[in-house]
Amino acid sequence: MARSNDEVAALFQEYADLISLTGGDAFRARAHEKAARSIGGYHADVATLDVQGLQEIPDVGRSVAEKIVEYLRDGRVAAVEELRARVPPGVRRLTAVPTLGPRKARVLHEELGISSVEELADAVRAERLRDLRGFGPKTEENILHGIELLRSAGDRVLLDVAADLAEDIVGRLAEVSGCSRCACAGSLRRVRETIGDIDVLAAAEDSAPLMRAFTELPYVTEVIAHGTTKTSVRTTEGLAVDLRVVPPESWGAALQYFTGSRAHNIRLRERAVHLGLKLSEYGLFDAETGSRIASRTEEDVYAGLGLPWIPPPLREDRGEIEAGLAGTLPRPVTEADLRGDLHTHTDLTDGLAPLQEMVAAAADRGYAYYAVTDHGPALSMQRMTDERMLDQRARLRALDGRYGRRRGGLRLLHGAELNIDPDGGVDWPEDFLAGFDLCVASVHSHFRQDRAALTRRLVRACEHPCVDIIGHPTTRLIGKRPGIDVDLDAVFEACARTGTVLEINARPERLDLRDEDILRARRYGVRFAVNSDAHSTRHLATLRFGIGTAQRGWLTAGDVVNTWPLTRLRRHLARGRPKRRPDSR
């Protein structure tokens, strides 16, 4: 379940929103927002800190520290409750509609009494927004479009939210007496990018103790269905969770069945029928005699169908069964294959942790190498200068090889995340860029250029001799912003031609490239990098979601450059680059 830090961060983010929505001081709102972000990214658990220790967290002063203590002690904060009483929860939800911020939401609530997304949609259609100052026909259009985007995300949650909850549930249920196995199945096990409901599977002779423990979980708010083989609940976050309990001898068949996907299972059952067998969640049986052929492990079930075990992220009926039969199933890249992270930030730009903390955390993860890639000066929200970047490089060189248990220590690469401007140009002239070990280049604005312009823009970036990796290539934000309208095939072709690597950005709200695009890109012979884009030490671990996405794209370790040894990686980065000038560090 969420750490105290995440809970507290969510609380202050809500408080900040409520301050804005009630017309409070904008700087006060911003201060709480900064505190929330800082707390969320802080390495130590706030529950272990006192008021003084809490104030060590950047952007946390006396007032916030005391509120944290109040929250951890009472489970509530009076100041937050006071504002909650004034703003219906639906009003806060309005700001989730893209292009609708706190000021407009406040006007809608105060002038028209709108307090939910549904009421907003009705009001727009009834043309009730027309008379409001600052609301024109284009605003109406944007709001309707935003609502549509919001709805297309549905009630699904991002992977990290679902994974945290599911792992907590599995951990607790595994402790229940009589439970022999427990694991999550469903789309979470297949690492789909969003999760609609969580499927948990357990094996036990007697299901009653598990079902009881499940309904008594602290964050369960509603029991939707309660039986001996299946129980469904809803959690405080509105997520539906199903628990199914099967006899231990059916474990493998049940895990296979409940992992899906539906399309994959249909294909398997068809194959079973073809072989004179019958496949269900209880096992693989002889269709005539009904005798059990396999059910204890997934491997047994697949073997009974003449197939190798298929990794869950591949189970989408996208050719995995044919590949399994032909013996050409790829061995997907795993987290253990990764030797480093090639896109990360520090507090030099918009990261939360100083260089040394990020490096130490990377070393703890056992990496062989690690790249620091803060933003260049083109992003106006940053304050980057040549001097600050070179100073960071000197500090990074001093830390090179000094961390980690590996021989030679953790090797550090100095990089930058460049901004791809509307014409496809990037920050800094070539001679300055040549001083970096690697450059990530990404689109951060002007998302609405037409397809031709966007395609030219990305292809030009690929062709730049110093651009090694295209960061979050489509810039989509799941449920918030669609990807840019770009001819990806042209980009893939350019990447393959120039050796430019495509990023699989592992942040749960991005997962960019996404699996379908990866499947296409790999046909062009493109290489990939699975990167965390970490802005705090805690983000480093999100790499697992990027790996899941890479697996869904059928990538092997060889396709992913940050599984390569450093010498091979360096050789690849050096291709086509201008020679460094002798004076560049």
Partner DNA sequence: GCCGTTTTCGGCCCGACTGTTTTCAGTCG
Which residues in this chain contact DNA in the complex, by CB under 7 A? 25, 27-28, 30-32, 35, 55, 58-65, 79, 95, 98-105, 133-140, 142, 380-383, 422, 444-446, 448, 477, 480-481
Nearer to DNA, 377 or 415 (CB): 377
Instruction: State the minimum distance, in angstroms, from the CB of residue 422 to DNA.
Output: 7
Nearer to DNA, 135 or 428 (CB): 135
Nearer to DNA, 107 or 240 (CB): 107
Nearer to DNA, 136 or 565 (CB): 136
Nearer to DNA, 101 or 171 (CB): 101
Instruction: State the minimum distance, in angstroms, from the CB of residue 481 to DNA.
Output: 5
Cβ-based neighbours of 139, under 8 Å, separated by 6 or more: 99, 104, 129
The answer to whether residues 459 and 494 touch, using CB atoms and an 8 Å cutoff, is yes
Integer CA distances (angstroms), 549 to 357, 443, 516, in order: 28, 21, 9
With vertex at residue 36, the alpha carbon angle to CA 35 and CA 40, rounded to the nearest 5 degrees, is: 115
The answer to whether residues 282 and 295 touch, using CB atoms and an 8 Å cutoff, is yes
With vertex at residue 182, the alpha carbon angle to CA 332 and CA 329, rounded to the nearest 5 degrees, is: 20
The answer to whether residues 443 and 420 touch, using CB atoms and an 8 Å cutoff, is yes
**Kind plus residue range of the DSSP H or E element containing 530:** strand 528-531
Nearer to DNA, 27 or 126 (CB): 27
CA distance 214 to 208: 10
CA distance 165 to 193: 16
Instruction: State the minimum distance, in angstroms, from the CB of residue 547 to DNA.
Output: 25
Instruction: State the minimum distance, in angstroms, from the CB of residue 324 to DNA.
Output: 41
Nearer to DNA, 67 or 538 (CB): 67
Q: For the chain, give me the number of helices (H) and strands (E)?
A: 24, 17
Q: Is 224 exposed, middle or buried (0-12, 13-18, 19+ CB in 10 A)?
A: exposed
Instruction: State the minimum distance, in angstroms, from the CB of residue 64 to DNA.
Output: 4
Instruction: State the minimum distance, in angstroms, from the CB of residue 350 to DNA.
Output: 8
Instruction: State the minimum distance, in angstroms, from the CB of residue 31 to DNA.
Output: 3
Nearer to DNA, 108 or 413 (CB): 108
Instruction: State the minimum distance, in angstroms, from the CB of residue 437 to DNA.
Output: 24
Can you give the C-alpha Rg of the chain in angstroms?
A: 26
**Residue 7 CB: number of other CB atoms within 10 A?**
17
Nearer to DNA, 242 or 503 (CB): 503
Instruction: State the minimum distance, in angstroms, from the CB of residue 293 to DNA.
Output: 53
Q: Across the beta sheet with 197-203, what order do the strands follow?
A: 181-184, 197-203, 240-246, 230-235, 220-226
